[in-house]
Amino acid sequence: MQMQSSRSLVSLTKQCRVIPVVESRTQFAQVLENSHARAVLLRHCNLFDFAAVLQNVYRRGYAVYVSIDHIDGIHADAAGLQYLAEHLHITGIVSNHPKTLSLGKQFGLETIQRLFAVDSTGLESALESVDTHTIDLLDISPALVIPYITLHLKMVLPLPFIGSGLISTSEQVQAVLRAGAIGVAAIRPELWL
pLDDT at 43: 95
pLDDT digits (tens, 9 = 90+) for 23-50: 998 999 899 888 789 999 999 998 888 8
Q: Count the Cβ atoms, other than its own, within 10 Å of residue 52.
A: 9
pLDDT at 2: 41
- Where do the H-state alpha helices sit in 60-114? 78-86, 98-106
Domain ranges of the chain: 9-191
pLDDT at 4: 47
pLDDT band at 11 (very low <50, low <70, confident <90, very high): confident
pLDDT at 83: 95
pTM score: 0.92
Q: Tell me the fold of 9-191.
A: TIM Barrel (3.20.20)
Q: Count the Cβ atoms, other than its own, within 10 Å of residue 10.
A: 15
For residue 193, pLDDT over 70 is answered with: yes
CA atoms of 135 and 104, how far apart (whole Å): 10
Mean pLDDT along residues 164-185: 96
3-class secondary-structure state, position 75: coil
pLDDT digits (tens, 9 = 90+) for 62-84: 999 999 999 998 999 999 999 99
Interaxial angle between packed helices 51-59 and 25-34, expressed in degrees from 0 to 180 and rounded to the nearest 10: 10
Task: Give φ, ψ of 161 to 5 degrees.
Answer: -140, 155
Sign of CA dihedral 6, 82, 49, 72: negative
pLDDT digits (tens, 9 = 90+) for 104-156: 999 999 999 999 987 777 777 778 888 999 999 999 999 999 998 876 666 67
Query: Rounded mean pLDDT of the chain?
Result: 89
